[in-house]
Structure 1
Amino acid sequence: SGGTITPNTGAKNRFEGLQALGSSLYYRPELDSWDIYKDKGFIQIPGMLHAAIKTHTSPGLNMPWYAVFGNHDDQMLGTVPNNIVDWLYLSNVKYDLPDTDPTAAAIGRALSKDPSQLGALLAGLRTTGPAIPVTADASRRPFSPREFIRRHFDPSIKGAGPIGHGFTDPDGPSWYKFQIAAGLVGISLNTTNSLGIADGSISQRQLDWMNKTIATHRDQLVMVFSHHTSTTMTAKLPNPETPGEAQYDGAHLVAQLHRHPNVIAWVNGHTHRNEMIAHRGKTAKHSFWEINTASHIDFPQLARILEVTDNRDGTISIFTPLIEADSRYTADPSDLSQAGLASLYRELSYNDIHRDDDLLGKPNDRNCELLLTNPLH
């Protein structure tokens, strides 16, 4: 929606994250000292972190935008169940915990098997360390899923609209339908489960609503949107946001979508990977494509445009061109303007020592024409 934001909390005039004060396991761009990134050729960039927390102004999109609920909108780090370590947001310490530390392994086990142990583990680290001091800030209070939805109805962030950005009621469900174009309906799902660590599921009531809504619009094509993919909806525990409801995995959701011939695509994210999956149904008209796209936060930093075309011969095509940020390919480390930081973001991520080239996908996961039988003919 555009506007102005200061991407900082705590101290007003200094960066307090681990990239400023942490161990040599982090790229510390402003320090004239060794770290594992500088060992691979990363350079010192004085002022970079200070520039990163300056007030930023964006013109916003000049087109309507819609929000799809994801695990990073619902949980600390997208993995820690709600209300267990919320105090950590507000505290005056930040943990500097290398993955070789035995406590890190214990935290990993707790996340996967018994999240209730996390509170005691993290509280103990406040005194034993390793930790760095930061400025406590009450504005870091975590928001609830309901607060997340309500915020989308604030008139100050309407932008090009619509009011609610897809959500139909500040106190209503976290899933909705919207009209993409004439003859094409979008179905937005909430696949988060705060007890799923990072993986998701879908509740019974939402699944029933989805099936009814798709059937009601059987005279139109349908594209389904969610955060999680078919292979990352594996959460087994009940969802605290939908108490008492059965939870279903990605395979079950695929089977449900196969019931509806007018479903042509399921668009999702979560894995930060470009990937196309053909879900073949019992007939050509019961088949659809699963379309995943890489993240903005790490290489290859791509977004995707989807274009649906009626070929007038009994088939439809979904074109999937990838787009990227309009910033210079080669960064100038002395340019710490917004445009300069955008170029640094591109170049540093490409050279990241943890870069995973598999996220780029194969050629047939990128700029494609996906062909389908037109189910409405």
Structure 2
Amino acid sequence: MSALSRRAFLATTAASAAAFSLSPEFLAAALAAPSQPSNVPSTLTQTIRLSSQAREQYRTLVAAPGEPYVERTDLLRAAPRAGRTADRRSLGYLGHLSDIHIIDAQSPGRLEPLIPVSESFIDASRPQDTMTVQVLAQMVASVERAKYSPLTGEPMSTVLNTGDSADSRNNLELGWCIDVLDGGNVTPNSGRPGEYQGVQTWPEADYVFHPDDPDLNEFGARGFPRLPGVLTAAVDQVVESVGLPVPWYAVYGNHDTLFMGNIAVETQLQTWAIGDRKAALWPATMRMMASWWGTNSSMFTQLVNSIRARAEFASGVHTVTANPQRKLFDQLGFMQAHLDSPATPGPVGHGFSQQNVTTGQTWWQADVSPWLRVFGLDTCNQVVGADGAVPQDQFDWLEAGLAQAAAENKIAIVCSHHNSYTLENVAEPAIGPSQRLIHADEFVAMLGRYPQVVAWVNGHTHINTITPHPTTDGGGFWEITTASCVDYPQQQQTIEIVDNRDGTISLFTTCLDHDSPAEWRSGDYSQAGLGSLSRELAANAWQFQPIPRIGSLLDRNCELLMRAPFDLSQISAAQVQVERATNTARLMARDGLTDGGGKP
């Protein structure tokens, strides 16, 4: 179908320029220039790897060669056309964030003493806990730098955040995350200014990394460095964020739903989280009670009562600065926090509307372009357990929405927190209404019935993973799982949908490292330096099996080919030009190019 006429092009340019207070002439000049791949930092040009392959000793990180796109044809029955690169056009360039895990490392509600009790609670403390805000800010900077596609040069339109924004359902954690994504300054200190109060400075907490004296436990034997003053430097730092360059959308993760991502929140825990007592050790009798926790959440009430009764007399209980802002948010609070965020970069609510708050519906759909519809799901279990499922009502809603998208010739992307490896939670409430839970096999089969579904994007496992889901008729879709900001490799990604104009499309996935030096320089406690140090510590945190989390070459920078979801010639060149004008104008206005300059 035809492109815009000159008159229509000028009218489109004028409208887009007016919407973002730009000079029409300069916007027209930027749009008239042929799109070229942007020379942005990404893992296409440089990767970050361990300095050695030695085991059970501390290793630094170094810059390594980039990784080109790997062609994957799992969903095609024939070899792709060799000349497709000359004819392709971009139909959408998006960012994908997941498992950000902002941590208030000083909160009394974190309950790090559970780590020796059970491996299930190992993520109650990581060596890099105090640096999550810095890492997110540096990741946002990377997304900002990648706002034009490294493949086609097309402007980014949307970012999808697939859950676990907060680590402990802490109101401050969620607020810090939203503020960094929107752009602004955050000081991640929930306690007393100029001081870190937490287990990483208390010698009796021998199960965590002590940066002032790593020789207190196994961390020193493994070569973890001495980092005097780093804890206070991290929590007291004013972290500056440029903010995401485009509108972003969010869904729930299990850490946004259950405490520590595993158990329901009870009144006693709410009180504990905002109080002034924080435990470093728990009596051995508490371990038995904690073992019952996984099957009966009411036991947590007894656990808290027992510990509170002994708090004045038990060793390892410290007085810390109380903070009512550490309160634990609920489902409605999560949505309201997104509705309360600034209008820019938008959209208001980031997928959630006031109707969601009113009805309690925790899922949404949004058209991020005239031909691309995104469905945001809530796969989190409300009862117990880190893994998820799709409730029947949400499953029915999604299937009806996909049928409608098919009737309207919309490309569909489904986003959720859980992936097909973890969509198996069977827990239901013991009292009150319940409904059938849909698990991975049935969910994947349903998505496969709708050819316009090109991708299911998610997270949860903190591992770069790309999984094809073929159908018997030669179709199918790609499942794209990104790593996390908290565990190594601390990578996120971009996804670009490209029409090859031969009856196929390609999804290009590009991994992004956060904008911090590959090699940490000793003593560098700057914002970028702490980001670099966090990644290095994460790479050495043996308890989390860090190295496999990077995935294989087939899980990182890839061209994922598949059959086109419908006749894409129905998306006219004129429509694509109008969308490009809007997205380019947004980015130019953000860059302050209101009366001169052009696209980088």
Which residue of 353, 359, 362 maps to 2:549? 359
Contact 2:289 2:299 (8 Å CA) reproduced: no
| Secondary structure in structure 1 of the residue aligned to 2:543 | coil
Please tell me the residue identity of whatever aligns with 2:343: K
Q: 1:282 to 1:102 in 2, by over 3 A?
A: farther
Q: 1:284 to 1:88 in 2, by over 3 A?
A: farther
C-alpha distance in 2, partners of 1:3/1:59? 7
Q: 1:232 to 1:32 in 2, by over 3 A?
A: closer
Q: 1:223 to 1:101 in 2, by over 3 A?
A: farther
| Secondary structure in structure 2 of the residue aligned to 1:37 | helix
- Aligned-residue offset at 1:158: 2.9
C-alpha distance in 2, partners of 1:171/1:340? 43
Q: 1:336 to 1:371 in 2, by over 3 A?
A: same
- Aligned-residue offset at 1:130: 4.6
| Secondary structure in structure 1 of the residue aligned to 2:480 | strand
- Higher mean alpha-carbon deviation, 329-338 vs 269-278, is at 329-338
Q: 1:267 to 1:104 in 2, by over 3 A?
A: farther
Aligned match of 1:50: 232
- Aligned-residue offset at 1:319: 0.9
Say yes or no: does 1:185 pair with 2:373: yes
* CA offsets 1:159-217 (integer angstroms, 9 cap, x no match): 31111111122434221112233422111101111213211122222111111111111
Q: 1:283 to 1:135 in 2, by over 3 A?
A: same
- Higher mean alpha-carbon deviation, 177-186 vs 270-279, is at 177-186
- Aligned-residue offset at 1:225: 0.1
C-alpha distance in 2, partners of 1:319/1:71? 28
Which residue of 121, 125, 132 maps to 2:303? 121
Contact 2:338 2:350 (8 Å CA) reproduced: yes
Between Structure 1 and Structure 2, whose CA radius of gyration is higher? 2
C-alpha distance in 1, partners of 2:265/2:200? 26
C-alpha distance in 2, partners of 1:317/1:181? 18
* CA offsets 1:113-145 (integer angstroms, 9 cap, x no match): 112112212332342465443233222111111
| Secondary structure in structure 2 of the residue aligned to 1:66 | strand
Report the TM-score, using the length of structure 2 for normalisation: 0.59
Aligned match of 1:64: 247
* CA offsets 1:280-306 (integer angstroms, 9 cap, x no match): 223123x11111111110101110111
Aligned match of 1:148: 334
Aligned match of 1:81: 264
| Secondary structure in structure 2 of the residue aligned to 1:264 | strand
**Unmatched tracts of structure 2, length 5 or more:** 1-181, 568-600
Say yes or no: does 1:339 pair with 2:521: no
| Secondary structure in structure 2 of the residue aligned to 1:321 | strand
Contact 1:223 1:266 (8 Å CA) reproduced: yes
Question: Which has more helix, going by share of residues?
Answer: 2
C-alpha distance in 2, partners of 1:41/1:150? 45
- Higher mean alpha-carbon deviation, 325-334 vs 10-19, is at 10-19
Say yes or no: does 1:278 pair with 2:468: yes
Contact 1:61 1:159 (8 Å CA) reproduced: no
- Aligned-residue offset at 1:343: 1.4
C-alpha distance in 2, partners of 1:349/1:338? 17
| Secondary structure in structure 2 of the residue aligned to 1:256 | helix
Contact 2:263 2:385 (8 Å CA) reproduced: yes
Aligned match of 2:223: 41
- Aligned-residue offset at 1:62: 1.6
Please tell me the residue identity of whatever aligns with 2:250: A
- Percent identity, aligned pairs only, is 35
Contact 1:231 1:251 (8 Å CA) reproduced: no
| Secondary structure in structure 1 of the residue aligned to 2:250 | coil
Q: 1:278 to 1:97 in 2, by over 3 A?
A: farther
Say yes or no: does 1:133 pair with 2:319: yes
Q: 1:217 to 1:129 in 2, by over 3 A?
A: farther
Please tell me the residue identity of whatever aligns with 2:492: A
Contact 2:266 2:301 (8 Å CA) reproduced: no
Superposed CA RMSD: 2.3
- Higher mean alpha-carbon deviation, 307-316 vs 17-26, is at 17-26
Alignment map for 1:306-325 (pairs within 5 Å): 306-325=495-514
C-alpha distance in 1, partners of 2:372/2:343? 24
Contact 2:214 2:220 (8 Å CA) reproduced: no
- Aligned-residue offset at 1:227: 0.4
- Aligned-residue offset at 1:67: 0.8
Aligned match of 1:171: 358
C-alpha distance in 2, partners of 1:101/1:271? 31
Aligned length: 372
Say yes or no: does 1:6 pair with 2:187: yes
Contact 2:202 2:280 (8 Å CA) reproduced: no
| Secondary structure in structure 2 of the residue aligned to 1:290 | strand
C-alpha distance in 1, partners of 2:494/2:504? 20
C-alpha distance in 2, partners of 1:252/1:205? 14
Contact 2:263 2:294 (8 Å CA) reproduced: no
Aligned match of 1:259: 449
Please tell me the residue identity of whatever aligns with 1:95: A
- Aligned-residue offset at 1:12: 3.1
**Unmatched tracts of structure 1, length 5 or more:** none
Aligned match of 1:294: 483
- Aligned-residue offset at 1:358: 1.6
Aligned match of 2:437: 247
| Secondary structure in structure 2 of the residue aligned to 1:197 | coil
- Higher mean alpha-carbon deviation, 121-130 vs 58-67, is at 121-130
Report the TM-score, using the length of structure 1 for normalisation: 0.91
Please tell me the residue identity of whatever aligns with 1:260: Y
Q: Higher relative CO (CA 8 A, sep ≥ 6), structure 1 or 2?
A: 2
Q: 1:252 to 1:130 in 2, by over 3 A?
A: farther
C-alpha distance in 1, partners of 2:429/2:439? 12
Aligned match of 1:194: 382
Contact 2:212 2:228 (8 Å CA) reproduced: yes
C-alpha distance in 2, partners of 1:140/1:213? 37
